[in-house]
Amino acid sequence: MIRAVVGIIKRGEKVLVAKRPENKPYSGYWEFPGGKIEENELGKDALIRELHEELGVDVASAKHLFDHVHAYPDKTVILELWLVMDFSGEPHSKENQEIRWVTLSEMLSLNLLEGNWAIMEKIKVLF
């Protein structure tokens, strides 16, 4: 089982999503930014590390919303979902992935990674 963090970064009515790069599994799919939690790492620490590594932002505060378990054909992931309340820096791609600010309705037209559909349904109340 893989543990990972997911960061919901809002700007008005839009949320930040990233397209998985060609060199990663499920390349071409869109997802909320985040990444794997390392051994003996707390979820919030992983969120801070991953968003800095991927997007160049420094998370000042974040709130844990819920955990979501998703089974892919080859693995099961536990996703810790965090709402980023405050951050500094302008998000930009540091890992060669495309990023976009989108509304939840615009997300419906994206090739969204399977595990992120359930997350999108659960976070509708935030918008």
Percent of the chain predicted with pLDDT > 70: 99
User: What DSSP string runs through the chain?
Assistant: -EEEEEEEEEETTEEEEEEPPTTSTTTT-EE-SEEEPPTT--HHHHHHHHHHHHH--EEEEEEEEEEEEEE-SS-EEEEEEEEEEEEES----SSS--EEEE-HHHHTTS-B-HHHHHHHHHHGGG-
Average of per-residue pLDDT across 120-127: 79
Please state the rounded mean pLDDT for residues 80-89.
96
CATH number at residue 6: 3.90.79.10
> Which residue has tokens 């890992």?
95
Which residue type, as a one-letter code, is found at position 62? A
pLDDT of 127 higher than 80: no
Range(s) of the domain holding residue 28: 2-126
Number of domains in the chain: 1
